[in-house]
Chains A and B, each alone.
Chain A
Amino acid sequence: MIEEELSKIWKSSPQEEQIKFDKSRFLLDVQSNIDDFYQQMKGLFLRESLGVIIAVPLIVYFAFTTTVLLTKVAFLLLALWIVYIMYLLRRIKHTVPDQFSMSYLEYLKETKKYLEESKRYRETVILWFILPPGFLMWLGLFGSNFTDPDNLKPQLIAGAIFLLIGTIVYWTNSRSAKKYVGPKLEKVNGLIKTLEE
């Protein structure tokens, strides 16, 4: 077989589909899909913002009403941590590569960067997402316990709840880093290598 034939064979496709459009309906369908997508994004943004709007003032309020300095400091730091997490999540979201303006290779490289960062964050979730609030919560409760040193119940309950949530968060993040992000990253690395060789 000669090389020139390849293109002819490729284009010969007798079984190739005929694509029929109902043009105006098609545009409406596409638009509704896009609207759904933006609606979801809007919902996500709203939920995130609502979480911060409720949590931060509440924590700051506790920090100002408490008389114990240690609790005050711990709760203020906790509020700062929540704001930092919001900033971090937004930064990660902005690194999602834009598939419309890039060439294939650029897109793969940007995807690689995004996946690497995403993997790193998932693997280190214990350091930036679990331990800081855990430690600050504990510190806050420890401070408030000064006034009633015999009552350890709130600390124990908070500790148990936190341990449970922390374990679930850690487990789901390590699982997704290993099961989803890792293989995808490997594939993208392989593609970049093949494309560049």
Chain B
Amino acid sequence: MTNTMKVKINQESWREATSELESAFLKGLEENKQKLLRICSTYTSDQEEKKDLFQEVLVNIWKSMASFKGNCSLSTWMYRITLNVCINMQTKLTKEKRQFRNMDSVKMSQYKESSSTEEESPLLMYLRSCIKTMNDANKAVITLYLEELPYKEIAAVTGLTENHVAVKIKRIKKKLLNCINEKL
């Protein structure tokens, strides 16, 4: 086989692999973007920072798509990266504002239909503000729980045992309910 042919075959297989990654990435993103965004939203109150954090999450997910080995589901793996990036980026973002500012292809806008007909419920506001008062470790566990992930998956994302997750969730929920009831 000539060298030119070899290069051509390599280029083709690389293109195929990239397009496979691309479609897996976009499919995973389509299925999980709202969940990932909700998780990001608990780590910052600033709208711009939330967008930056979300973009940073997407960049990191895409960057590491090739290293995804399928040991867990794609969504579990995406949650993992989201939490790790969120904890890592918070301080960085406030310090180095406007680092990834050139991603014009991602736009966030409010749902017009729903926001025009209904206001954000006070309960949701209380829930969010109570979650924001928690530390990052508890935030990580409770947001995954609120996204209705099974304990097994929460354990895979956080690195805790399932029993430990169950105990923690019970404790955090109690705190959360107390906090909300105080506000009611």
List the interface of chain A (C-beta within 8 A of B): 1, 3, 5-7, 9-23, 25-30, 32-34, 99-108, 111, 184, 187, 190-192, 194-196
Contact = CB atoms under 8 A, between A and B. Distances in A.
Interface centre among A21, A100, A194 (most CB of B within 10 A): A100
B146 A102 contact: no
B10 interface: no
Given A33-B59, A100-B81, A104-B158, A14 B111 contact: yes
Contacts of B158: 103-105, 195
Given A12-B124, A21-B105, A105 B159 contact: yes
Contacts of B152: none
A194 to B, nearest CB: 4
Contact of B107 (A19, A105, A196): A19
A56 to B, nearest CB: 34
Nearest to A22: B105
B108 interface: yes
Interface residues of B, number: 65
B83 A104 contact: yes
Given A1-B184, A18-B108, A104 B121 contact: no
B115 A14 contact: yes
Interface SS of chain A: helix, strand, loop or mixed?
helix
B62 to A, nearest CB: 5
Contacts of A106: 159
Contacts of B141: 195
Interface of B: 22, 26, 29, 33-34, 37-38, 54, 58-60, 62-64, 67, 80-81, 83-85, 87-88, 91, 100, 102-111, 114-115, 118-121, 123-124, 127, 135-138, 140-141, 145-148, 156-160, 168, 173, 176-177, 180-181, 184
Closest 6 CB pairs of A and B: A103-B159, A105-B159, A100-B64, A25-B105, A26-B105, A99-B84
Contacts of B124: 9-10, 12-14
Contacts of A19: 33-34, 37, 54, 106-108
Contacts, number: 162
Given A7-B146, A10-B146, A103-B156, A20 B59 contact: no
Given A29-B103, A33-B103, A104-B158, A9 B127 contact: yes
Contact of B26 (A23, A100, A107, A108): A23
Contact of A10 (B64, B102, B127): B127
Contact of B67 (A1, A26, A100): A100
Given A30-B63, A190-B135, 7 more contacts: A12-B121, A14-B111, A16-B38, A22-B105, A26-B106, A104-B158, A195-B168
A15 to B, nearest CB: 5
Contacts of A196: 160
A18 B38 contact: no
Nearest to A101: B67
Contacts of A23: 26, 105
